Structure 1
């Protein structure tokens, strides 16, 4: 197979179907021809004005605006690495990533101009501003002027370029995963063509033909999670590879009502969510409105996506829910696909390139009950940008194969599906017994009075650590903690039952569904100290 390059494929689609809508918002619309023209103008500016060379970097401090996509394409077309930075970061955090990524250009909306200016102070970086109503930044280059100056996309993108995707930094400073653009589209062939039931193409010409073929399903994707995240980015790029349309809500925070109206107006066929954090408010809006009549697929990855929310989504229309198990560093490891409520509970099916490894890092047979480290040996990134040590730790050369091993443990069910158990670093070692938090969380979440839960270890004099849980009640319910623990006791071994339970109105998950575990543990420890001071029991009660 001759692997197409994203930029070359998009250029072929723009030439073959110039009047198709490529990007739509409530107030604007770019055809594929206009998409190519804007991207070409930015590509010309990078090479002829700024003087960037292949493998240098442009940072994007942008929310889900059309410019996020035009800037990215302009970068890919000339071999410059696009680097998306979280627009919620403070100036010091932005500055750290500008330095880490060696960025030469920073593209930013005028509303974030002050943060950009502070972050770039003293650095040799060109600031490019996109007008979103904020004050213009003195000395910055206006994106509108770049577009007005015009320019053309090159006939083909240079080889050897990369795309850098920053991880979230939950275990330390964020690191950029470096993906080779010469093979990236091949790595995503299943999530691009496979999801719509089309055989992946063998050449660039075949890929263009599939995209413009009237019989190919027309995909209109609305990413409800930020484009800087891997799932939204890859699915958006995949939609464009199919000649589809991207619908965007260009706001720095999610307005679910506005997103629903946009989905209805543009007849969005695919939604990208971040588990329950986005899907739950969406389903609540859709239930009181007109459902999701045009949506045929909903995608999420790496976040808690409960069966209850999936069941409610399935009740709204004939749609497929794809829960991906993937990482910035590689995958997908497994798909949890449901087509109707009868398919629930969702089970993750391993992909052909995913394996389980034992403690000696040997591949094991996927027999019922087999426990191992989840690994992937398909097309992989080059590693982490400028971090050979971390690259060597995560991307392992073992007996002639290169694997990515993020650190997740899984148990095989024997039917091709797995039960994800979580990171070894998160395992609670209580009296020599290992407890995987995900296993306990699943049982807690099965109780009707529990809306959210996180399980972790707390220090214990006798056992080293004890299993602990912080939960949020469902719908304001009064949680009977002893009854909840009895519920757990019926389903799990005694040593897996939480010794301490803490009840909070909310776990204060981030917009992407993450919990700050350090904060949770500090909160729990403080409550234990208060209980000890008042002679309270070890087990918490609702409050």
Structure 2
């Protein structure tokens, strides 16, 4: 293909029969559920610890909850926080918010006070849908006047207590009727009010989902997605990796607050009218049981989940033969693990790449010709290129540079941050490309391979931790004057978070006390596992903390310890 532009090399191995351009719908994402419930009303939509919901039943609850939201004054374009673990109520709440013409603000259930306060202030959301186990973290925001309403759902309410695969122990025995407090309405009470929502008025460019992406500038930033950009990865993903087998069943183990989970494990199956078996928290034995019992055919995950599943004691004793597709991302799948997975299931692990800013996968391996430890190729309607870090020139094969993306699923910008939005895009050939900040290169076949992440990002068990965000939170500690966050080698997690901190004069605060404080203010995966105290942080002539020197010293120390 001598006349093929460098950024089109991947067309050599384009999936047979797949269009290169996809006509995308202009209607609300909520309409996808309505269409499936109309087409296959009696098909099981959700299976959860001995209880099932059909598509008709799921839609009925979505409609009533959407009506409740509108009765509380929610109108098109309003934002609603969704703060739950994986459960039927999480899916119902997600689609109810969209059905009410509002935008979903997905919140990591590990987030705590400081993070929740930022999200409430930044989005202006006045209502939150949450699990009952999380209400205590929200009530201060109601008393402070940041929130008006909390809809609290107990996941156990949608389980069969006698079912032999029980809900995670800490969540058993809860009921939303036992939950009260300022502004709290039990989930089932909201449904029981029986409200009917008005007609859908949200269109293609109305707000749909605003996932928050941490970054190098401190507080997380909202990635503005419209119904059009969300539909792009729903319809594109369904076409790229078709679950053509009859009665496809999806194992939902990825967190639904994350774009990959909400798109690949929820919204694509809902578009197709297929069954979803929900796992609230990752447990490898439970995953094996569910795959075997419910003949799961599709499992989207992160590499660390697949690795953990393969290490399940007695894995050979489970019948996993129903599986027809396994894939994910988050980190490269090690060659040896991919071999073991193939031996066990006969399947290739299909790796992909995406970001909150692209609402899921922008690069995925072709199912018919995947490469290992590879991000894949740009999917339908995606123009992705590599730019030189110094000159900004477009690069060719085997030349590492920054990944840039132009596609219909690219976000519309950072919520209320016009300057950062402008900095995130570059104009090439009359098109706006999103600058991912990730360093990669592609080979002669157009397959992309990760080279490096943004220099400061810490990858702790697949979770992205941005030091600037953790530093911003830790600077609120009354006993600390300065903090620098670095990564430290961890044999189990890959990397862990370490804080280098300066105490206030006269303070005797301990490492354990600082770590405990952090646990109350931020998600556990962001919390430092170590706190090293120092009299001062090294600074450049311009007064900037020399984090790189601290990181290099830490790397030398850990290397010396392993020798």
Equivalent-residue separation in structure 2 for 1:521 and 1:311 (angstroms): 39
TM-score (norm 1): 0.72
The change in CA–CA distance for 1:361 and 1:195 in structure 2 (over 3 A counts) is: farther
The answer for the alignment partner of 2:188 in structure 1 is 144
Indicate which of 361, 369, 373 corresponds to 1:332: 361
The change in CA–CA distance for 1:189 and 1:356 in structure 2 (over 3 A counts) is: farther
Equivalent-residue separation in structure 2 for 1:333 and 1:186 (angstroms): 10
The answer for the alignment partner of 1:540 in structure 2 is 560
The answer for the alignment partner of 1:89 in structure 2 is 111
Q: Secondary structure at the match of 1:540?
A: helix
CA contact (8 A) 2:326 2:348 kept: yes
The answer for the alignment partner of 2:13 in structure 1 is none
Q: Secondary structure at the match of 2:57?
A: helix
Deviation (angstroms), 1:69: 0.8
CA contact (8 A) 1:38 1:150 kept: no
Structure 2 stretches lacking a partner, 5+ long: 1-22, 156-173, 465-486, 494-523, 534-548
> Could you give the per-residue CA deviations for residues 346-365 of structure 1, whole angstroms, max 9, x where no partner exists?
56334452111234776635
The answer for the alignment partner of 1:107 in structure 2 is 129
Deviation (angstroms), 1:294: 1.3
The answer for the alignment partner of 1:271 in structure 2 is 299
* Pairs within 5 Å for 1:7-18: 7-18=30-41
CA contact (8 A) 1:36 1:153 kept: no
Q: Secondary structure at the match of 2:138?
A: helix
Does 2:91 align with 1:72?
no
C-alpha RMSD of matched pairs (Å): 3.7
The answer for the alignment partner of 2:220 in structure 1 is 174
The change in CA–CA distance for 1:47 and 1:469 in structure 2 (over 3 A counts) is: closer
* Pairs within 5 Å for 1:283-298: 283-285=310-312, 287-298=315-326
* Pairs within 5 Å for 1:3-402: 3=25, 4-48=27-71, 50-122=72-144, 123-132=146-155, 133=174, 135-139=178-182, 140-152=184-196, 156-159=200-203, 160-168=206-214, 172-196=218-242, 217-235=246-264, 236-250=266-280, 253-276=281-304, 278-285=305-312, 287-330=315-358, 332-336=361-365, 344=372, 346=374, 348-351=376-379, 352-359=382-389, 364=394, 366-367=396-397, 369-379=398-408, 380-402=410-432
The answer for the alignment partner of 2:451 in structure 1 is 421
Equivalent-residue separation in structure 1 for 2:250 and 2:372 (angstroms): 25
CA contact (8 A) 1:163 1:178 kept: yes
**Further displaced range: 518-527 or 282-291:** 518-527
CA contact (8 A) 1:26 1:262 kept: no
Equivalent-residue separation in structure 2 for 1:64 and 1:218 (angstroms): 22
Deviation (angstroms), 1:52: 0.7
> Could you give the per-residue CA deviations for residues 55-103 of structure 1, whole angstroms, max 9, x where no partner exists?
1111111000111111111111121011111111222322221222211
CA contact (8 A) 1:59 1:85 kept: yes
CA contact (8 A) 1:372 1:410 kept: yes
TM-score (norm 2): 0.70
Equivalent-residue separation in structure 1 for 2:453 and 2:384 (angstroms): 17
> Could you give the per-residue CA deviations for residues 346-405 of structure 1, whole angstroms, max 9, x where no partner exists?
5633445211123477663533x3333211111121111111122112133445211111
Deviation (angstroms), 1:247: 1.2
Equivalent-residue separation in structure 1 for 2:342 and 2:260 (angstroms): 21
Equivalent-residue separation in structure 2 for 1:79 and 1:17 (angstroms): 24
The change in CA–CA distance for 1:324 and 1:121 in structure 2 (over 3 A counts) is: farther
Q: Secondary structure at the match of 2:394?
A: coil
> Could you give the per-residue CA deviations for residues 140-160 of structure 1, whole angstroms, max 9, x where no partner exists?
111101222224465545222
The change in CA–CA distance for 1:469 and 1:85 in structure 2 (over 3 A counts) is: closer
Compare relative contact order (CA 8 Å, sep 6+) and give the higher one, 1 or 2.
Answer: 2
The change in CA–CA distance for 1:257 and 1:170 in structure 2 (over 3 A counts) is: farther
The change in CA–CA distance for 1:301 and 1:520 in structure 2 (over 3 A counts) is: farther
The change in CA–CA distance for 1:15 and 1:355 in structure 2 (over 3 A counts) is: same
Structure 1 stretches lacking a partner, 5+ long: 198-214, 428-436, 439-450, 455-467, 475-513, 533-537
CA contact (8 A) 2:373 2:449 kept: no
The answer for the alignment partner of 1:472 in structure 2 is 491
Q: Secondary structure at the match of 1:76?
A: helix
Equivalent-residue separation in structure 1 for 2:101 and 2:348 (angstroms): 36
**Count of aligned positions:** 443
**Further displaced range: 20-29 or 318-327:** 318-327
Deviation (angstroms), 1:14: 0.4
**Further displaced range: 115-124 or 13-22:** 115-124
The change in CA–CA distance for 1:421 and 1:343 in structure 2 (over 3 A counts) is: closer
* Pairs within 5 Å for 1:447-466: none
CA contact (8 A) 1:371 1:410 kept: yes
Deviation (angstroms), 1:305: 2.7
Q: Secondary structure at the match of 2:232?
A: helix
Equivalent-residue separation in structure 1 for 2:255 and 2:234 (angstroms): 19
Equivalent-residue separation in structure 1 for 2:391 and 2:556 (angstroms): 44
